[in-house]
Amino acid sequence: MDVAAGAVRPLVSKLYEVIKDEYGLEEKVKKSVRSLQGELEMMHGVLVKVASVPHDEVDEQVRTWAGMVRELSYDMEDAVDAFLVRVEGSAGPEDNRVKRFLNKTAGLFRKSKDLHQITRAIEQANELSNQYAELRQKYHLDDIGRSSRASDTIDPRLLDLYKEATELVGIENPRDELIQKLMHGIEDCNQRLRSISIVGIGGLGKTTLARAVYDNIKAQFRSKAFVSVGQEPDIRNIFKKILHELDEQKYANINEAKRDEEQLINELRRFLKDTRYLIVVDDVWETKTWKFINCAFVDSNCGSRVITTTRKNTVAEVVVKEVGDIYTMEPLSSANSERLFYGRIFGDVCKAPTDYQLIEATEKILKKCGGVPLSIITIASLLADKSIRDWSSVYDSIGFGPTDKNEVVENTRKILSFSYYDLPSYLKPCLLYLSIYPEDHWIQNNSLIWKWVAEGFVHKEPGKALFEVGESYLIELIRKSMIQPAESYGSFLTWYRIHDMVLDLIRILATKENFVKILDREAEEHSLSSHSSTVRRIALHKRGNQEENDNLSAGMKQLRSLNAIQSPISTMPSLVSFQVLRVLALEDCDIKGGLQLKHIGKLRQLRYLGLRGTKVSELPSDIVELVDLQTLDVLETGLKEVPRSIGKLSKLMYLRVSQSTRILTGFGNLRSLQVLSIYWDSIDNYENFAVEVGKLTELRSLTVDGNAHEVDDNTYKCLMESLCSLHKIQNLAIFGSGRDLSDWEGWDHWEPHRKLSEFFMSYTEFPRLPAWVNSTCVPYLSELTIDVSTVEAKDLDALARLPLLSLLRLNVRHRFPWAVAGGGGLFQNLRFLNTNMPLAFLRGATPKLKDVELYPHVSQDGDASDIGLGSLPLLKTVEVALDCEAATPAQVEEAEAAWRHTVHAHPNRPVLYLRREGENLMKEDSDPDEEEISDTDEVDGNDDDEISAQEVMHLHIRRVDLGLPQASITDLLISAMNTAADIYQEDEKGDDLK
């Protein structure tokens, strides 16, 4: 029903285009179009109502009727699109009058033919719609409410709304228990390889637990890797993933290597020999799969560890056959289930309802969830949009089975199914579209949303770009817990994954609705009956059947979407075979003989062309014929250049190219462009680029990556001026390669878009923080990377008050100590911090900070105990680059020891990455006979040298518990000087110091 409704909606809007006077349709034909529109709108209303009813509860006749309406809509939309493309297609400039006359005459004949074809199509569609209208009158359907729309603002706090199963509650004890089992005896003489297998049903949080253990202990292993296997594994690809994770530099091009399983096993064994390693093999389904993978793990008595997760006890028993333990994943307790449930709905268990009937409804729901976190989170997300009074009716509607060990999985599936049918009709096709991705695939948000746009799933809303509407759809699916955001460096909402139980559900539904045909090993298992043999969408996966790949063109003239992901394709059919194709996405595919895009200009309805990671020899010049093309992604394709004619693609909105791909002058004509991602090395002419970028007034996202050393300062400043004219920019990332803008005030005059969310200017030094960096001008700013000459206390306060700031990279040339205060809503969402400023985190500071990268100076910035890492309750990783200039080796070693001690003392056991910088600028250790001056000597007044203000500051922070939540730097310095004077009060120099 939902797919049928989704097919009708875009057709209704397109029919308005057809009846325009400029197309020359007869009045009788226009009348037929209006009649068809009216009937389709009524059909759409019925379909939207029925779409909220589970598939197996709908009468078979209704399903048959919906299938016929769906196919009618698809066929009619294809005819309308073909007509609009032909009559609106722009003819190229001609050199003389004779050619222009001949083309104009030929155009009249073509137009006459096109009018005849569209007229016939409308007449046939009207006849069918009248027949379907008679059938529709036989059905009477109750009005079914729709869920309210969620907020469409991009908010990094979404990461707090959906967390992996048990991350919220109940993970601490099993994590610590597993760590104890794994690490016990690791330093003994007998250091044999030891394995632990975590076993339990789907949705219990096995992967989350394994990840928590892995993150906690990986720093104690020289080599480590975390890989997922899945139900239909590609063994060679798994071995390649392990090698790449073990050493990203050495195996950077491992995917291009032509190696069989035996060669990869031998390579892994050579790498792992005589090294202590930690490897997690997640989601193993079969014993034979494990036996293959286990061949690569060598035991050199180094204390190595292997963790697996599986749903099957038989697999777990094989994993730990020699040395190891099976850990059976237990469901959440009643108390933890309640904490997770109320926490997801209300944000605080204390806000749980007190009414007896509501408590009783909650108990019934949680009992049926069986302590499975996936079930609890999903149903909580479902109930969050409903009145508390409706909870019991939702429970009754799902139709749970009896609660016993064998029914928990079935109840989870029913919860997921009910959550799907509760979605608004416009979201269901978007969710079903995710079935094109393989299991455990990381989905990139840009490509997904632009595919939705190309397919017609995203509908126009006043004042919004289509991509922004698509983003709001994605956010709704996250809020409904149907998609999981993948957190990276704190808050990047750019990657997503879908739980395998949800994927299994939507694959079944997509097959029932004839929405997608998936060509992989499981295609036959999911091959359920549908009401049409016409294939509209195909997904090829890495386990695809080669024979089916070779016959793609057979009977596929109505194919709308071809998605191939990591798939070997022996023969690519001629593109002429796909006349109505809207999406062509060949991602990381191995096409024998290379991909030839000959005749691509024939795909006149193509909107999305994605070739990322697939080798392409060239883009033909007839790409200019793709008048409706919206997305062109040729990243990592080996393409030498983008044709100059690309400037004629007036509807192109997304363009991304590789570093090795030249983009020629002329892209300034792409006035519809919203996203541009290129490299400095790709730009043919820097001066023209600096000017033409300013013409792209619709740009929302601009990334210029790579090295800008060859760009002169005047051209770079010209580029900055052009960027200041882009008032719709929401994501801006420019690599500047050592630019000094200290004498340029242009940025203070820029009026950024209110929804600016990312500002990245690396290696471009501003004189100070731009005036617009404040919560009033850019309240949605979530990621800021900037280099400045100097900052003031008011600048730091402005940063702290940005409500959504989650990632901050701040490099300051003239550093001074910064006490990061807490409370008052300061840095309430900061998750990642990278700075070279000496820090002191006070109590309550940055409550969500997880990852910090610091650049302390060994001889100037004190030691690790000054930082106050204990004030960061969620700390996970600490990266420290020690500046060794002018420090002695002894001081450096002492500083490293202090950092290790401080980080390891943190209750979260964060991972520490410690490295040295400027080792060649170190000075030699002092003479051992020379008396060293310690902090104690200074306090006792034994040092006659003058003490710097910075040293006094560090002394103060070490010795005094500062309770100054909003203190300015001046207040802190005065307080420090007063304290230092008190310490020296018995010394005759005390008054001078004060």
Average pLDDT of the chain to the nearest whole number: 77
User: Does position 655 have pLDDT exceeding 90, yes or no?
Assistant: yes
**Radius of gyration for the alpha carbons in the chain, expressed in angstroms and rounded:** 32
The span from the CA of 765 to the CA of 30, in Å, is 62
Beta bridge mates, 615 = none
Q: Beta strand 495-497 with 484-485: parallel, antiparallel or unpaired?
A: antiparallel
User: Does position 737 have pLDDT exceeding 80, yes or no?
Assistant: no
Mean local confidence (pLDDT), 585-613: 85
User: Does position 812 have pLDDT exceeding 80, yes or no?
Assistant: yes
Mean local confidence (pLDDT), 498-512: 83
For the record, the structure tokens of 674 come out as 């919203």
Distance set, CA 311 to CA 228, 315, 328, 472 (Å): 13, 8, 10, 35
How would residue 591 be classed by pLDDT, with cut points 50, 70 and 90? Answer: confident
Backbone conformation region of residue 863, classed left if phi is above 0, alpha if psi is from -120 to 50, else beta: beta
Neighbours of 717 (CB within 10 A): 16
Query: Where are the strands (E) in 573-699, listed by range?
Result: 583-587, 590-591, 608-610, 631-634, 641-642, 654-657, 662-663, 675-679
Sign of the four-CA dihedral 766, 768, 772, 778: positive
The lowest-confidence range among 335-344, 409-418, 448-457, 728-737 is: 409-418
CA atoms within 13 A on the CB side of 652: 25
User: Does position 59 have pLDDT exceeding 80, yes or no?
Assistant: no
How would residue 953 be classed by pLDDT, with cut points 50, 70 and 90? Answer: very low
Best-predicted range by mean pLDDT among 207-211, 304-308, 553-557, 904-908? 304-308
Q: What percent of the chain has pLDDT over 90?
A: 18
The lowest-confidence range among 82-91, 335-344, 565-574, 747-756 is: 82-91
How would residue 251 be classed by pLDDT, with cut points 50, 70 and 90? Answer: confident
The lowest-confidence range among 9-13, 581-585, 590-594, 800-804 is: 9-13
Instruction: Please tell me the predicted confidence (pLDDT) of residue 711.
Output: 85
pLDDT by residue (tens digit) across 19-31? 665 556 667 666 7
Mean local confidence (pLDDT), 253-262: 79
User: Does position 110 have pLDDT exceeding 70, yes or no?
Assistant: no
How would residue 100 be classed by pLDDT, with cut points 50, 70 and 90? Answer: very low
Mean local confidence (pLDDT), 69-78: 71
Q: Sheet containing 443-444: which strands, arranged edge to edge? A: 443-444, 495-497, 484-485
Helices 408-421 and 373-383 pack at an angle, to 10 degrees, of: 30
Instruction: Please tell me the predicted confidence (pLDDT) of residue 362.
Output: 82
Distance set, CA 357 to CA 59, 277, 365, 375, 868 (Å): 34, 54, 12, 22, 48
692 vs 823: which has the higher pLDDT: 692
Best-predicted range by mean pLDDT among 477-491, 546-560, 566-580, 949-963? 566-580
Instruction: Please tell me the predicted confidence (pLDDT) of residue 993.
Output: 46
Mean local confidence (pLDDT), 775-801: 92
298 vs 571: which has the higher pLDDT: 298
Give residue 146's Cα distance to chain centre: 28
User: Does position 473 have pLDDT exceeding 80, yes or no?
Assistant: yes
Backbone conformation region of residue 704, classed left if phi is above 0, alpha if psi is from -120 to 50, else beta: beta
Return the SS3 of 549.
helix
Q: Which candidate, 676, 665, 661, places its Cα nearest to that of 730?
A: 676
